[in-house]
Amino acid sequence: MTNCGLVNEKNELVPLKSISVEVRVQDHVSTVSSTLLYVNEEERPLEALFVFPLPADAAVCHFSAKIGEQEIVAEVQDRETARDQYDDAVSSGQQAFLLEESAESPDVFRLSVGCLSPGQDAAVTIIYVTELDVQADHSLRFCLPAVLNPRYTPAGSVAGIVSEISSGCGAAPYTLTLSVHVSSPKPISKLESNCTLDPLVFLRSDHTQATVNLSPGHMFDKDVELFLYYQDTHQPSAIVEAGVATAPSGSLMRDPVVMISLYPEFPEEVMSSLATQGEFIFVMDQSGSMGEVLHHGKRAQTHIESARDTLLLLLKSLPMGCYFNIYGFGSRFESFYPESVEYSQNTMAQALKRVKKMQADMGGTEIVQPLKHIYSQPCKPDHPRQLFIFTDGEVGNTKEVLDLVKHHVHSHRCFSFAIGEGASTALITGMAREGSGHAQFITGTDRMQPKVMQSLRFALQPPVFNISVDWSLPDGITVDTLSQPIKVLFQGQRALIYTQLKGESSGGSEGTVTVKYRLKDQLVTNQLHFCLKPTEETGLAVHRLAARTRIRSLELEERSCNSDVEDIRRKIMELSVQAGVSSVHTAFIAVNKDSRQTVKGPLLQGRVQTYGSFDLCGIVMKDSSDRCGIVMKGFRVSEQTFHCCKPTKVTATRLNGFMTKVQNFFRRGSKTAAAPTVQTNSQSKSDAAPDPQKDPLLQLVSLQKASGCWDLDATLADAFGKTLDELTNQKPAQVEGSVWATLLALIWLYGCKIDQRVEWQFVAMKAVSWIGSQKVGDLSECVCVGNVLLGCQVTKETLGI
């Protein structure tokens, strides 16, 4: 594999030598400091461009560059002013650095490094703060993005920073060091990762502080995920952070700011009965990149294979009497049915036949058109619409998608799933946030099924209405809420509220926040008491997160507002500059005015649009010879012309996926894109079906009827590793065949797959409900015989029958 990263006309590496990351986790907030070391090994002054990912909700709050012993700290300025200042500096031979956020997707940033002298190095430091996501097992997830997939830009869309995302290949040509310091009010139970870590070292006997390092030799080819476990992670909490005394009076940075973390607990009687109605629409990405492999370990699947398995499980888990439809999309889209159909054995069986034929063969990733088509369909009365969107997130027009989802939020809930490394966090979390749903990320060796089934449980929860937040504070103190109003609450999921405290207290040191909402016919109240005394050693992390939250709200208001746009933009820029936090209208600019060198000719910026995975090393070199180049999976793209490079040994799957991307590249390059088409079940794809399911659980689930029962036949016996005669001969005389088969399936699930219960919980609930509707005598003997037959020890009470 040829080298990649910053290359010259001789295809030689590289100014980026190393990345060093320090992470400080304080309770639910992380501060990340990343230092990138560049070295110019060319014989001429160099300008480099680096496009890289950050978490969608990150607040970038510091940018500096150290050249030799001199450090230049960047300032936040109006974006156009910063760009002009950068261009002027570089053209006059001064060293300059420009960091700006993508206008299309807030999780993509571009770093321009200008005028590095021959042999000179520069250490660029970027600091950002972000909240940690709470997982289903109550762990806190930290993610350091390493992979930035190319984003598909539909014809007619304005190209921007996301169109500059370059491809990477093989191992990253630099080193990564990562150290993590964790502190928490609660003891730290453990820390896990998808990467190899050194042993966790506790710094205090009460286990409230600890450090850990990434083991040497890590190849930075996947996102680095850390999962932190505290005792009582899911308990409500409040962080009060003091303001800056020198900030302007009345400003956000001057006053104290509070971050409230709430975990609503719904009444047990409400949660015991999930909804049996709804319209479930599953939207599946079938673009060429879905043919890539999730990981390279045992039983590795492509994205589309894992998605097919998940659709099988979802279809088997739906309640009888609901409605459903399935869409596939790429450069075009198609639906299984012209409109959502009632869930029955017949419609489920039809859908499963088509699911087996779904392939990653539909070109680019254009999600807007299928969404518009779905929203144009009338909703089913008394069946709330639930949208499940599966994608690898390679979408360039993120904000257009989010605005569309938000515009239709009152007609549906949106649950989004990111498949594989490098998916756009802005797209996935944004669709769920604007659609009052929930987002999930499936990376590495993660199984998609448990995460999707957790979201299905959320979708089946009754919706929460009339959410209100009330504050009780000492006299003289008022609150200014910076977050958008809470639109959705799910059992056990965190809700964040940022508020600015104004005024002076005349006495009292405690506040109370009360959240009220209606759940079915009940009025539910959750309350949190907190101390107004500022928490120590938080820096300004909470203020910057609060500023980021307010800026995102204003940006959304700006896009949806027909008037006062200039006033909103002014507010965004003022808050961004005041808080030192990035926004779409500002940029970080640093200029070394002491440096000046002769430049032969202008330093022109290269614009090369390539497609493939991006491993934090997609850097385009630009110099006075007006050349730019980058390597793309065995090809070198130079001035948008393909030239063959050294031969590369690749698998058939990777080759097919790559050729699909090359085809998409030329398709995207055309002046006009083909009009989207809608295809219904009368039009089918290839009749070739994939290999039969080898996963025993999925094999059993695939045999269940829509009503919840199983047939007593040879395929069921094979799933148990038995013969049909063995199952039939042991059947108690008074029990009908389907009841016996369904009982055996339940016994096998509880006895052999209890660790995967989250995946089959709805399948089992349907089975129990079906058995309850049958005329069956004493089932105790049946359960005993079934245990002996299948080698299990499950009680009738465990089965819930």
Question: Which of 114-118, 520-524, 625-629, 744-748 is predicted most confidently?
Answer: 744-748
| 545 and 625 co-located in one domain | no
- State percent of the chain over pLDDT 70: 79
Asked whether the predicted pLDDT for residue 396 surpasses 90, the reply is no
Residue-wise pLDDT tens digits, 16-62: 778 889 999 988 899 999 998 888 777 777 777 777 778 888 899 99
What average pLDDT does the structure give for the chain? Answer: 79
For the chain, the domain total comes to 4
Long-range contacts from 241-250, C-beta under 8 angstroms, 24+ separation: 241/534, 241/535, 241/538, 241/540, 241/541, 241/542, 241/543, 242/534, 243/543, 244/540, 244/543, 247/578, 248/578, 250/502
Closest CA relative to residue 193, chosen from 149, 221, 223, 234: 223
Contact 146, 421 (CB under 8 A): yes
pLDDT of residue 9: 39
The reply to whether omega before 14 is within 30° of 0 (cis) is yes
Which H or E run includes 632?
strand 630-632
Cα 1 to chain centroid distance, Å, stands at 30
pLDDT of the residue at 36: 85
Do residue 265 and residue 290 come from a single domain?
A: no
* Residue 303 and residue 224 in one domain: no
CA dihedral sign, ordered 559, 560, 561, 562: positive
Residue 30 in domain: yes
Identify which of 355, 360, 290 has the alpha carbon closest to the alpha carbon of residue 327: 355
3-state helix, strand, coil in the chain (%, to 5): 25, 30, 45
Among 152-161, 501-510, 751-760, the range scoring the smallest mean pLDDT is: 152-161
Residues 93 and 200 in one domain: yes
Lowest mean pLDDT among 256-260, 295-299, 606-610: 606-610
558 within some domain = no
324: β partners: 280, 341
Domain that holds residue 384: 275-460
Please check the confidence at residue 404 and state whether its pLDDT lies above 90: yes
Are 449 and 485 found together in one domain?
no
The predicted structure's pLDDT at residue 394: 67
- 717: in domain: yes
Please indicate, yes or no, whether residues 111 and 43 belong to a single structural domain of this protein.
Answer: yes
Residues 342 and 422 in one domain: yes
Alpha-carbon distance of 573 to 76, in angstroms, equals 9
Of 426, 460, 494, the residue at which a domain comes to its end is 460
Average pLDDT for residues 515-519, to the nearest whole number?
89
Q: What is the dihedral of CA 25, 26, 31, 36, to 10 degrees?
A: -30
pLDDT at 5: 38
CA distance 311 to 679: 19
Task: Give a yes or no: residue 142 inside a domain.
Answer: yes
Predicted pLDDT at 105: 80
Q: Does 58 share its domain with 207?
A: yes
Which of 347, 138, 430 lies closest to 261 in space, CA to CA? 138
pLDDT tens sequence across 125-181: 999 999 988 887 788 889 887 655 545 455 555 445 544 444 443 344 567 889 999
349 confidence band (pLDDT: 50, 70, 90) = very high
Query: 122 and 253 share a domain?
Result: no
Q: How far apart are CA 547 and CA 60, in angstroms?
A: 11
Residues 338, 310 share a domain: yes
Token pair 């609930």 is found at 765
Evaluate whether 19 touches 124 at the Cβ level (below 8 Å): no
Show the beta-strand stretches assigned E in 68-139. 70-73, 75-78, 95-101, 108-116, 121-131, 133-134
Q: H-helix or E-strand containing 768? A: helix 757-772
In angstroms, rounded to a whole number, what is the distance separating the alpha carbons of residues 746 and 771? 11
From the number of C-beta atoms within 10 Å of its C-beta (0-12, 13-18, 19+), residue 302 rates as buried
Domain membership flag for residue 682: no
Q: Decide if pLDDT at 735 tops 80.
A: yes
Asked, for residue 665, whether it belongs to a domain, the answer is: no
The enclosing H or E element of 751 equals: helix 737-752
Give, as one character, the DSSP assignment of residue 355. H
Residue 481 located in a structural domain:
yes
Q: Is residue 677 part of a domain?
A: no
* Contact (Cβ atoms closer than 8 angstroms) between residue 786 and residue 744: yes
Of 414, 442, 460, the residue at which a domain comes to its end is 460
Tokens representing 757?
A: 């219960």
Same domain, 211 and 254: no
pLDDT, tens only, 521-545: 888 888 899 999 888 777 899 999 9
Whether the predicted pLDDT of 556 surpasses 90: no
Does residue 438 sit in the same domain as residue 541? no
Q: Is the entire prediction scored with pTM above 0.85?
A: no
Question: Of the residues 418, 438, 460, which one is the last residue of a structural domain?
Answer: 460
CATH number at residue 617: 2.60.40
Nearest to 559 by CA among 585, 586, 578: 585
**Residue-level pLDDT at 462:** 79
